[in-house]
Structure 1
Amino acid sequence: DPKKPRACEACRGLKVRCEPDPNNPDGACKRCAKAGRNCIVTQPTRKRQKKTDSRVAELEKKIDALTASLTATKAAQAGQPIPGMPDGAGGIMYGGGGGGGGGPAGGMNVARGWSTNQSPYADGSTMAYPPPMVLAGQKRKYTETREPAEDAPTPSVAHSNMDTRSHEYSDIVDRGIITSERASLLFDRYNYQMAPHLPGVVFPRDMTVGECRKTKPILFLAVMSAASSETPNVQRVIVKELMQVFAEKIMLIGEKSIELVQALNISVIWYWPPEHFEELKFYELVHMAAVMAIDLGLGKRRSRRAKQGPPNWRDHPFRKQPPPDPTTIEARRTWLMCYFLTTNTAMALHRPFLLRWTSFMAECLDVLESSPDAAPTDKYLCHLVRTHQLAEEIGFQFCMDDSAVAVNLSDYMTQHKVRGFERELEKHRQEVTRELMQPSLKFSFHTINLYMHELALQNEPADAFKAPFAAETLRDSLISTATLTPAYTNALASCLTAIDGIFETFFSMDASSIRCLPVFNFVRVAYATVVLIRIYFAACAPNSELGKIIDKDSMKVDQHLDTLLEKFREVGADDKSRPAAKFLVVLVMIRSWFHKISKGELNQSARIADAANAAEGTSPFATPDATRAASDKRTPTSATTPNYSAQASNNPLQLLSEAATTN
Structure 2
Amino acid sequence: MDNSLSKPRKTERACKPCRDLKVRCLPSSDGGNICKKCQRSGACCVFEELKQRKKRKAPDDPTTVEALEAKLSDLAKQLETSNAQLQSLQGSTCENLSPDNPSLSSYAAPIASSSSSTQVADSGSVDQDEHVIEQLLGCGILTTDAANGYLLKYREMCEYSPFVVIPEGTTIESLRRDQPFLLHAVLAAASRENPDLQSTLERTVRERLLRTVMIEGEKSIDLLQAILIYLTWEHFFHVPKKRLFNQLLHVAISICIDMGLDLGPCEASARKAGLQLDHHSSSGGTPDDVFFSRAARRVYIGCYYLSSASAWVWRKPNNIHYTEYMMQCAQSLSKDPEYETDALILPLLRTQRLGDEFHDLLLPANLDYSCSSSSEQVQTHLRTFRAKLDELLPNEPSDCLPTSLASHLATSRAYEMDMLSKGTVNKERIGGANAPPTPSQHDVIMACLDSARCYVETFLSFPLSEYPKLAVPQWWGLIGSVYILYVLSIGTPQLPLWDVCVAREKVRLEIYLDLLCYRMQSITGSTTEAPAGRDLFSLMGPIFSNVKTSYERLKKLPQTASSMDAEPVHGTAFESEAKPRNKQIKPGRCPAFPFWSRTQSVTSPPVEAPNDMFAGFESIDPDMNFFHDDGSWLGDMSSVN
Extract structure 1 runs of 4+ deviating beyond 6 A. Answer: 161-167, 476-480, 539-543, 601-606, 631-634, 644-649, 654-657
Percent identical: 17
Pick aligned residue for 2:251 from 283, 288, 301: 288
Deviations 1:570-612 (A, max 9, x none): 2223759953321212111111111222234999898325798
Distance 2:163 2:238 in 1: 27
Find the counterpart in structure 2 of residue 525 from structure 1. Answer: 478
Q: Does 1:505 align with 2:476?
A: no
1:597 equivalent in alignment to 2:597:
no
Deviation at 1:338, TM superposition (A): 1.3
CA distance in 2, matches of 1:286, 1:315: 19
The answer to which structure, 1 or 2, has the higher relative contact order (CA under 8 A, 6+ apart) is 1
Equivalence for 1:85: none
> For residues 304-330 of structure 1, what are the alpha-carbon distances to aligned partners after superposition, in whole Å with 9 as ceiling and x for unaligned?
7946x9x645479xx799577552222
Go from structure 1 to structure 2 and tell me whether the alpha carbon gap of 1:582 and 1:639 turns closer, same or farther (over 3 Å shift): same
> In 1, distance between residues paired with 2:498 and 2:547?
25
Counterpart Cα distance in 2 of 1:430 and 1:356 = 24
CA distance in 1, matches of 2:433, 2:340: 49
**Does residue 463 of structure 2 align to residue 489 of structure 1?**
no
Could you say which residue in structure 2 is the equivalent of 1:157? 115
Equivalence for 2:169:
206
Contact 2:233 2:472 in 1 (8 A): yes
Range moving further from structure 2, 214-223 or 529-538: 529-538
Instruction: Check the 8 A contact 2:151/2:186 in 1, yes or no.
Output: yes
Deviation at 1:542, TM superposition (A): 13
Instruction: Please report the TM-score for the alignment, with normalisation by the length of structure 1.
Output: 0.62
Deviation at 1:233, TM superposition (A): 1.5
Is 1:231 equivalent to 2:194 in the alignment? yes
CA distance in 2, matches of 1:305, 1:545: 52
Q: Residues 489 and 396 (structure 1 numbering): CA distance in 2 closer, same or farther, change over 3 Å? A: closer
Partner of 2:613: 642
CA spacing shift, 1:209–1:478, aligned 2, 3 Å: farther
- 2:516 maps to a residue whose letter is L
Q: Distance in 2 between matches of 1:444 and 1:434?
A: 13
Q: Which runs of 5+ in 1 are unaligned?
A: 1-153, 466-472
**C-alpha separation in 2, matches of 1:541 and 1:417:** 19
Q: Is the Cα contact below 8 Å between 2:241 and 2:597 reproduced in 1?
A: no
Which residue, 405, 415, 431 being the options, matches 1:443? 405
Task: Tell me which of 567, 574, 583 is aligned to 2:519.
Answer: 567
Judged with a 3 Å threshold, the aligned counterparts in structure 2 of structure 1 residues 173 and 500 are, in CA distance, closer, same or farther, namely: same
Q: Does 1:189 align with 2:153?
A: yes
Task: Tell me if structure 2 keeps the 8 A contact 1:533–1:594.
Answer: yes
Write the distance in 1 (CA, Å) between the matches of 2:385 and 2:495. 37
- Paired with 2:126 and 2:606, the residues of 1 have a C-alpha distance of 57
Separation in structure 2 between the aligned mates of residue 540 and residue 660 of structure 1, nearest angstrom: 15
Aligned length: 481
Shift in Å, 1:265: 0.8
In structure 1, which of residues 463, 470, 474 is the aligned counterpart of residue 425 of structure 2?
463
Q: Contact between 2:307 and 2:319, CA under 8 Å: does it hold in 1? A: yes
- Write the deviation string for residues 503-535 of structure 1: whole angstroms up to 9, x where unpaired: 211111111101110123222222222221221
Q: How does 1:28-39 map to 2 (within 5 A)?
A: none
Contact 2:437/2:498 (CA < 8 Å) preserved in 1? yes
C-alpha spacing 1:276/1:413, structure 2 compared with 1 (3 Å): same
Deviations 1:324-370 (A, max 9, x none): 75522221112111111111111112222212221211211221111
Name the counterpart of 2:499.
546
Question: What is the match of residue 61 of structure 2?
Answer: none
Other structure's SS at 2:176 match? helix
TM-score, normalisation: structure 2: 0.64
Q: Determine the C-alpha separation between the residues in 2 that align with 1:415 and 1:155.
A: 69
RMSD: 4.7
SS across alignment from 1:233: helix
Whole-Å separation in 2 of the counterparts to 1:187 and 1:632? 37
1:82-107 deviations in Å (ceiling 9; x for gaps): xxxxxxxxxxxxxxxxxxxxxxxxxx
Residue 416 of structure 1: CA displacement?
Answer: 3.8
Say whether residues 1:173 and 2:133 are aligned partners.
Answer: yes
**Which residue of 182, 197, 203 corresponds with 1:240?**
203
Q: State the 1:190 CA deviation.
A: 0.4
Q: Comparing 239-248 with 528-537, which one deviates more in the overlay?
A: 528-537
Q: Could you tell me how far apart the structure 2 residues matched to 1:219 and 1:370 are? A: 26
One-letter amino acid of the structure 2 residue matched with residue 374 of structure 1 = E
User: 1:648: how far off?
Assistant: 12
Residue 215 of structure 1: how far off its partner (Å): 0.9
Counterpart residue number, 1:514: 467
Output one character per residue of 1:465-518: Cα deviation in whole Å (capped at 9) or x when no partner.
9xxxxxxx9xx9999953332212211221221122112111111111011101
**Preserved CA contact (<8 Å) 2:587 2:612:** no
Verify the 8 A CA contact 2:224 2:299 in the aligned structure 1. Answer: yes
Corresponding position: 1:382 with 2:346: yes
Letter in 2 for 1:623: S
Following superposition, the deviation at residue 429 of structure 1 comes to 3.2
Amino acid at match of 1:552: R
1:453 and 2:418 are equivalent in the alignment? no
Deviations 1:220-251 (A, max 9, x none): 00000100122222111100001111121100
Of 475, 487, 510, 1:558 maps to 510
Please give the per-residue CA displacement for 1:376-431, whole angstroms capped at 9, x wherever unaligned.
2111121111111223334555679xxxx797644667984784366245423344
